[in-house]
A and B are shown apart, each in its own frame.
Chain A
């Protein structure tokens, strides 16, 4: 949500949603349908009832917008959400594009008292929307986002390849970084020497290794280098190379910070 320019609070269940709404004039509530204590449907019915009664905290001009997060991308669910009084729904795992669409559609109108906007870039004058969210909050997957600040490593993929085994993870990370350093050095030489075909092959090789184990941040500059090499024109290769080695450093730092966690998670 922060990627989309919203600020949000997270609560644990339907009851807490009601309490939070009494305290804070949220614009939008992201509601998980399957929640303990009070599920999303029930919570929605309660919220709408409070709004009808104009209960304390529920007496704003506009009813709060409720977007369901449902684990099931099934037909029928949408009707169920809407029947309960929700405005919209997104399927879990939540894709950032879906969330963006839903948030943009339901962002508060300009004349609203809590004048806010979901995408700060599109309406520069307004502050961020306040979004309440009931957990378990689905975190947008790192490799589907299209906004810059996403983690440089797809840990889910890395975890899948290493079958959740931290020893194996450490070994693969070690192998990857060693090989990546060598290839990056060779790439530099190949670019300096104008060897387009070598640039293509080296970038292809490192790209393959990186995507195999989830080192996603280096992929775009490597893909560019591969294209340039393929075309036999190395204009712009130096910039792409600089970007690739910078992203590799980001990956390295991220992995170093994660290695501690891997150690802690030894029980797997």
Chain B
């Protein structure tokens, strides 16, 4: 029987994985943190490791490096799980010798089992030793095995996912209450308690992101995965904790409650290709904002001329607009006022990109509906969370 070591700190997630793999005939072991994983790896190495790169309090890439540095585990197959908003971590994991990188939200329990069989099949035919260096394994994902492995998970494979969905949905109010409590704690925290409070929140969001992904709750999975990546970044770089990023975190968490009540989101459909407009006369800031939008897997059109932007907005609907405040000619506030009088964009949410120095005064003075702020220099993952928050809120037809 093949043994899988699952490194996962969320108890619910660990249970889901364990049950699933055991029912598919695998032996499983769960390690709740990096140190426990290393102890287990030193004891009796498994046949495959499943490692979530977004684990709070564990540097997944370091664990992977450790595995690759040990003689006994140098060629041990490692499947890493990540989320769609953590491309930097995924890059690092490929470099460190992951055999396969899977995106949590795109990979249900059925696919996961298929991928595990795949990797086990392709690595067992490779002679052990330096031939199968992690670099080559990473560079060329094994071809040809996928069709053979996929059907093996059985015809009733969807039943557990449906159960999972019901189960996750019924536990949602509890999860959300916990999140709000932790957010409240973070809000009250001071310099010494901020990081622990942030870590607790991150841990809870990590659990939500994983279980919503597995259960196919697409919209909740999307926003919580992005939020998970933002919290990971803030925890790793506390200097990026500021009024803007904290506000973005709070908004995303606030959205979860209406999202969970929102009449069933289409199951296999993520956001319907929304269109975002970015207006900034300064090319580098404009590129940065666009880059953040792209890294959130969203589409943006960008313009440097506010007057031209208004002309475009008269005729064409956009789902979200990022506006620089200081522009020659028309400033961002003027553009906003005018665009909301157009027939095409009366309610389009507008996010002003403003320097962090001005953030607090501006955010406080302008709390009208459909208007929001984000601090400059833009934290890319924060902008992704911000964009998803507004788009999902609109999609749910929730005027908050």
Contact = CB atoms under 8 A, between A and B. Distances in A.
Interface of A: 13, 34-37, 39, 71-75, 80, 92-93, 136, 141, 143-144, 157, 160-164, 172, 175-176, 179, 201, 204-205, 208-213, 268
8 contacts: A80-B35, A93-B236, A175-B287, A179-B283, A204-B326, A208-B285, A212-B287, A213-B287
Contacts of B377: 157, 208, 211-212
Contact of A34 (B34, B283, B285, B295): B34
A205 B304 CA distance: 14
Interface string B82-117: 000001100100000000000000000000000000
A84 to B, nearest CB: 12
A36 B199 contact: no
Nearest to B292: A161
Contacts of B33: 72
A213 B69 contact: no
Given A176-B284, A205-B282, A211-B377, A163 B66 contact: no
Interface in B128-183: none
Nearest to A75: B196
- Highest count of chain A CB atoms <10 Å: which of B38, B239, B288: B288
B185 interface: no
Contacts of B70: 36-37
Nearest to A175: B283
Interface stretch (B20-28, B55-63, B246-254, B336-344): B55-63
Given A35-B66, A209-B285, A211-B376, A161 B291 contact: yes
B86 to A, nearest CB: 12
B232 to A, nearest CB: 12
Contacts of B378: 212
Contact of B294 (A92, A141, A160, A163): A163
A176 B88 CA distance: 23
Interface string B25-58: 0000000011100100000000000000000011
Given A35-B66, A37-B70, A179-B282, 4 more contacts: A34-B65, A72-B57, A73-B57, A201-B326
Interface string B264-303: 0000000000000000001111011001001100000000
